[in-house]
C-alpha cells in the first residue's frame, strides 16, 4: 500500500506558494517532446531471473574466492570468523547512529568502549579513540594532534619515506593551508633513522614512521626506542603507523616510546570491499587526551550506582566552538570499529598470535622459494613480516598481467610508481589465507615468466 503524506490540500497550498496551477507547470522549461521519452527497456524479468543475471555479471569480475592474491600494500585479505558478520548485522548495531542519548544507546556505547580498550591494549597505549576513516586519515590526524599539542608554535613534520605513500599524500592534502613544513617524505626508499633525526630541530612537532614499514621491513624495539628518545630530546612527538596483525607477535609501539599510534584496522574483521569503508585505529598517551581528535567513550555510573557508558570527550566542531575544536571530523567508522572489536574478542590473544605466526612463516617460505629463482632478487635489508620486496627481471605490470591471465593469480604491488630507484620491483604480500599450493603456483609462474621465448605481449591491467 503506497503512503503519501501530502494531502490534496497540502499540494494545493505548495503550488499556490510557488505561483503555479498544477505540477505540470513546474516542468514548462523542458520541451514537451522530451518530457516523457520512450524508454527502450528489456522485457520484464522475474526475481529469480534477475538474480541469475546479476550473478552472471558478478562472475565476470575477478574475486578473491576464485583467484589467489599476493597483493597487499595497506589492504589485506585475512580470515574473518563468521561471528563477526553475525554481530555487526544485528539491527541494533547496523542501524545505530551517533549515540548522543546514552539512556538508549548503552549497547553501542559499550561496544565502542570495548573496542577502545582492546585497541589500547593491542598498541600498548593508554587511550584509543573511536575512530577515524582509515589508516591514512589517522596519520593525518596524528600530525594535526601533534601541532595542537605544541599550540601551533611548531609547524615542522618529519615523515619517513617508507611510510605508506598514500598516507603521506593524504597527510599533505589534509593539512594544506595550515602552513606546515613537511620534510623527509622523499621516496628514496631509505628509512635511515639517523637521516630523519638530522631533519629534526626545535621547530619539529612530530616524526612519523611506520613499523612494519610500507616495504615490509621490521625495526627492532631497541631501534625504535633509540629513535623515540632522540625525538623526545627535540621536544617532538613520535607517531608510529603499524599493522595491527603484526602486534599479535611483535612488541607494540607503546612499549618503545611512541606517543601516538595509528593503523589501518581493515585487517581486523573488515573485508576488502572494493576499497572501503575502512577503519583508522588511533591510540595515544594519556597526557594527550585533551588534544585528541574524534571522540572517546568512557565508563561511569548512573544515579543508582550502576555501570554505564557515555561519550566522555567529543572535542570536534560539531560539539564545541570551532576555535576550540581539535578536528573537523564529523563522523567515525563505528560499524567497522564494532567489527574489529568482535574480531579481536573472537580471536583472543592466542588466535591473533597464530594469525601473525602463519603470516610470518608463509611469507618467509615464499621469499625463500622466489629468492632461488634465476633473475629474481629479494630486497631485504632488515627482517620482514608478511610483505617483502622482489626485484624482477621484467616490468612488474607485464608480469602481473601474465600471472592473472595465465595462472589466475593477482600479483604484488608495482613499486616503480612510488620507489623508482628500486627498478622493476614488486611488493609481495602473503597472509594466512595463502595456501602452500598457491605460493608454489606463484613461484612456478614467476619462473615461467623468466624463461626465454615467453611472450608478455598482454594488455597490462587486463
Give me the DSSP letters along 83-142.
HHHHHHTSHHHHT------GGG-HHHHHHHHHHHHHHHHHHT-SEE-S-BSSHHHHHHHH
φ/ψ (deg, to 5) at 104: -120, 10
In this predicted structure, what is the pLDDT of residue 181? 97
Label residue 341 by pLDDT band (50, 70, 90).
very high
Q: What is the pTM of this model?
A: 0.88
Lowest mean per-residue pLDDT among 125-134, 291-300, 430-439: 291-300
Query: Does the pLDDT at position 320 exceed 80?
Result: no
**pLDDT reported for residue 318:** 60
Say if 311 falls within a structural domain. yes
**How high is the pLDDT of residue 461?**
44
220: left (phi over 0), alpha (psi -120 to 50) or beta: beta
CA 216/CA 117 separation, integer angstroms: 27
Beta partners for residue 260, in sequence order:
239, 284
Total number of domains in the chain: 1
Please list the residues that pair with 157 across neighbouring strands.
182, 206
Convert the pLDDT of each residue in 140-188 to its tens digit: 999 999 999 999 999 999 999 999 999 999 999 999 999 999 998 765 5
- Per-residue pLDDT at 451: 84
Residue 334 lies in a domain: yes
Among residues 460, 458, 439, 354, which one has the least CA distance to residue 390? 439
CA distance 424 to 420: 8
Q: SS3 for 290-352, per residue?
A: HHCCCCEEEEEECCCCCEEEEEEECCECCCCCHHHCCECCCCCCHHHHHHHHHHHHHHHHHHH
Q: Give the whole-number percent of the chain exceeding pLDDT 70.
A: 93
The better pLDDT of the pair 273, 339 is held by: 339
pLDDT digit string, tens, across residues 93-120? 877 777 878 888 899 999 999 999 999 9
Residue 191 has a pLDDT of: 63
What does the pLDDT read at residue 284? 97
CATH number, domain containing residue 149: 3.40.640.10
How many CB atoms sit inside 10 A of residue 455's CB? 6
Residues whose CB falls within 8 Å of the CB of residue 44, separated by 6 or more in sequence, listed in order: none
What residues have CB less than 8 Å from 326, skipping those under 6 apart? 144, 145, 148, 291, 292, 293, 315, 316
Give the mean model confidence (pLDDT) for residues 225-252. Answer: 98
pLDDT band at 3 (very low <50, low <70, confident <90, very high): low
Q: pLDDT at residue 371 above 80? A: yes
Residue 353 has pLDDT above 90, yes or no: yes
Q: Where does the pLDDT of residue 5 fall: very low under 50, low under 70, confident under 90, or very high at 90 and above? A: confident
Predicted confidence at residue 99, as pLDDT, reads 81
* pLDDT averaged over every residue in the chain: 91
pLDDT of residue 44 exceeding 70, the answer is yes
Confidence grade of residue 460 (pLDDT, cut at 50, 70, 90): very low
Greater model confidence, 456 or 325:
325
Q: Which helix (H) or strand (E) holds 57?
A: helix 47-58
Q: Report the pLDDT value the prediction gives residue 443, as an integer from 0 to 100.
A: 98
Residue 158 lies in a domain: yes
Domain-located, residue 72? no
**pLDDT at 462 > cutoff 50:** no
Least Cα distance to 151 among 331, 291, 282 occurs for: 291
Q: Is the peptide bond before 13 cis (omega within 30 degrees of 0)?
A: no
Domain that holds residue 283: 82-344
Which span out of 101-115, 329-343, 374-388, 446-460 was modeled with the highest average pLDDT?
374-388
Amino acid at each position: 500500500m503506497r503512503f503519501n503524506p501530502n494531502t490534496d490540500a497540502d499540494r494545493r497550498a505548495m503550488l499556490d506558494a510557488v505561483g503555479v496551477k498544477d505540477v505540470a507547470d513546474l516542468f514548462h522549461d523542458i520541451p514537451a517532446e522530451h518530457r516523457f521519452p520512450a524508454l527502450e527497456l528489456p522485457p520484464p524479468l522475474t526475481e529469480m531471473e534477475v538474480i541469475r543475471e546479476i550473478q552472471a555479471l558478478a562472475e565476470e569480475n575477478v574475486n578473491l574466492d576464485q583467484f589467489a592474491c599476493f597483493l597487499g600494500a595497506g589492504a589485506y585479505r585475512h580470515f574473518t570468523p563468521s561471528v563477526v558478520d553475525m554481530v555487526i548485522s544485528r539491527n541494533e548495531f547496523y542501524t545505530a547512529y551517533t549515540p548522543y542519548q546514552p539512556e538508549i544507546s548503552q549497547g553501542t556505547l559499550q561496544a565502542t568502549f570495548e573496542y577502545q580498550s582492546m585497541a589500547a591494549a593491542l598498541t600498548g597505549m593508554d587511550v584509543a579513540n573511536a575512530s577515524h576513516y582509515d589508516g591514512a586519515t589517522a596519520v593525518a590526524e596524528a600530525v594535526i594532534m601533534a601541532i595542537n599539542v605544541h599550540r601551533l608554535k611548531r609547524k615542522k613534520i618529519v615523515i619517513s619515506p617508507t611510510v605508506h605513500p598514500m598516507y603521506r599524500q593524504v597527510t599533505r592534502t589534509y593539512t594544506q593551508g595550515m602552513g606546515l613544513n613537511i620534510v623527509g617524505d622523499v621516496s628514496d626508499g631509505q628509512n635511515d633513522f639517523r637521516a630523519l633525526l638530522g631533519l629534526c630541530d626545535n621547530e619539529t612537532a612530530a616524526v612519523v614512521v611506520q613499523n612494519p614499514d610500507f616495504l615490509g621491513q621490521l625495526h627492532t624495539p631497541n631501534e625504535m626506542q633509540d629513535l623515540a628518545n632522540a625525538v623526545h630530546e627535540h621536544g617532538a612527538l613520535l607517531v608510529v603507523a603499524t599493522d595491527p596483525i603484526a602486534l599479535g607477535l611483535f612488541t607494540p609501539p607503546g612499549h618503545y616510546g611512541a606517543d601516538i599510534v595509528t593503523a589501518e584496522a581493515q585487517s581486523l574483521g573488515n573485508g576488502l570491499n572494493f576499497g572501503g569503508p575502512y577503519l583508522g585505529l588511533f591510540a595515544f598517551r594519556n597526557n594527550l587526551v585533551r588534544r585528541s581528535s574524534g571522540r572517546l567513550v568512557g565508563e561511569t555510573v548512573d544515579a543508582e550506582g550502576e555501570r554505564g557508558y557515555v561519550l566522555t570527550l567529543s572535542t570536534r566542531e560539531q560539539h564545541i566552538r570551532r576555535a576550540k575544536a581539535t578536528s573537523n571530523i564529523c563522523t567515525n567508522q563505528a560499524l567497522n570499529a564494532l567489527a574489529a572489536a568482535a574480531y579481536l574478542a573472537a580471536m583472543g590473544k592466542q588466535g591473533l598470535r597464530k594469525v601473525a605466526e602463519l603470516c610470518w612463516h608463509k611469507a618467509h617460505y615464499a621469499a625463500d622459494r622466489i629468492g632461488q629463482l634465476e633473475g629474481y632478487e629479494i630486497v631485504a635489508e632488515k627482517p620482514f613480516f608478511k610483505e617483502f620486496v622482489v626485484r624482477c627481471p621484467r616490468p612488474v605490470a607485464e608480469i602481473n598481467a601474465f600471472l592473472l591471465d595465465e595462472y589466475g593469480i593477482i600479483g604484488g604491488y608495482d613499486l616503480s610508481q612510488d620507489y623508482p630507484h628500486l627498478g622493476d620491483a614488486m611488493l609481495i604480500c602473503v597472509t594466512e589465507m595463502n595456501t602452500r599450493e598457491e605460493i608454489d603456483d606463484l613461484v612456478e609462474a614467476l619462473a615461467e615468466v623468466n624463461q626465454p621465448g615467453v611472450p608478455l605481449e598482454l594488455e597490462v591491467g587486463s
